[in-house]
Amino acid sequence: MEVKTYFRRATDLPREELFGPGHRLCAGCGPAIAVRLALKAIRKPVIVVNATSCVEVASTPYPYTAWAVPWVHVLFENTAAVASGIVETLDKLVKEGRAEDADVIAIGGDGGTFDIGLQALSGALERGHKFLYICLDNEAYMNTGIQRSGATPRGAETTTSFAGKVIPGKLEYKKDLASIVVAHAVPYVATASIGYWLDYVNKVRRALETDGPSFIHVLTPCQTGWRFDASKTVEIGKLAVETKIFPLYEVINGVYRINVKPKSFKPIEEYLKLQGRFKHLFEPQNRHIIDEIQQQVDARWKRLLVLEEVSQRW
């Protein structure tokens, strides 16, 4: 399957900053990196619809803003619905010659996408509105106090999934959101990581070029909630891919394409040990959870390889 590559090196990206410096997000903030990169990949005027989240709160403290594009703040639960309305209104105005054409990008965190906003997202995908939805996944409700979400991985400690003598962090596995979106039969779905930024910006452009709904699930490590040094954000984003816990792939009209296949994978411990939220898993009584996570990661990777092989025969 031949897929167009729009950017091959850093010098291919525009120098203009549409998500400006001076926002109040944390040093080493993964979502901030993801937003900045996404806006480097746009092709024409864009309207951003942003759910309540760390990015929303820290980038627009009244009367200031870090956004150099039209931007709308919406609720956790209606991001995709508002984006749908903007798409349809803009389409009518363009046809009447009353507005310039623009792309619409909806941005939500994992809480506002995996959980609270899933119903509106599903409806928008079913209806076929042409916009790109980017889920900034930092694996918990970071803006409201680091509570667990449907994106929080098994074993992680949050303020609502404590690690103690009775419960060793979150008991459930992370929801497979990309597969849920793929089940809607939309033309473009992808996973991405800020650790592989070139892969990510190309996926943003491909998604914007898609005729129909598109969705990107980008892993955006959070140094505050994951408890690592701020200098490690990109390294951890890479390790997530290199340990298979967050594979990079895209699904174009139902056909799977794995984007990164390392010659050898690192054990899951290499990823977990850098994060304070998993510190308790390395205690003797909890080591079995690391083994269980490794088994689940390996099984999901094998499944992904099969999906790629089978779908490319169609």
Asked if residue 2 is part of any domain, the answer here is no
Q: Is 164 exposed, middle or buried (0-12, 13-18, 19+ CB in 10 A)?
A: exposed
The radius of gyration of the chain from alpha carbons, rounded to an integer in Å, stands at 19
Total domains in the chain come to 1
Domain residues for 243?
10-311
Amino acid at 1: M
Is pLDDT above 80 for 2? no
Q: If you search the block for the tokens 């363009």, which residue do you land on?
A: 94
Asked if residue 242 is part of any domain, the answer here is yes
What is the percentage of the chain residues whose pLDDT exceeds 90?
A: 97
Asked if residue 4 is part of any domain, the answer here is no
Asked if residue 210 is part of any domain, the answer here is yes
Confidence grade of residue 21 (pLDDT, cut at 50, 70, 90): confident
The pLDDT value recorded for residue 314 is 81
Asked if residue 98 is part of any domain, the answer here is yes
Q: What is the mean pLDDT of the chain?
A: 97
Taking only the tens place, the pLDDT of each residue in 23-39 is: 999 999 999 999 999 99
The pLDDT value recorded for residue 141 is 98
The pLDDT value recorded for residue 22 is 83
Is pLDDT above 90 for 153? yes
Confidence grade of residue 81 (pLDDT, cut at 50, 70, 90): very high
CA neighbours closer than 13 Å in the CB half-sphere of residue 140: 26
Asked if residue 3 is part of any domain, the answer here is no
Region of 81 please: left (phi>0), alpha (psi -120 to 50) or beta. alpha
Asked if residue 5 is part of any domain, the answer here is no
Asked if residue 153 is part of any domain, the answer here is yes
Determine the length of the chain. 314
Taking only the tens place, the pLDDT of each residue in 252-309 is: 999 999 999 988 999 999 999 999 999 999 999 999 999 999 999 999 999 999 999 9
Q: Is 54 exposed, middle or buried (0-12, 13-18, 19+ CB in 10 A)?
A: buried
Q: What is the mean pLDDT of residues 147-165?
A: 97
The pLDDT value recorded for residue 1 is 67
DSSP state of 17: -
Q: What is the mean pLDDT of residues 247-253?
A: 98
Q: Which domain CATH number covers 136? A: 3.40.50.970
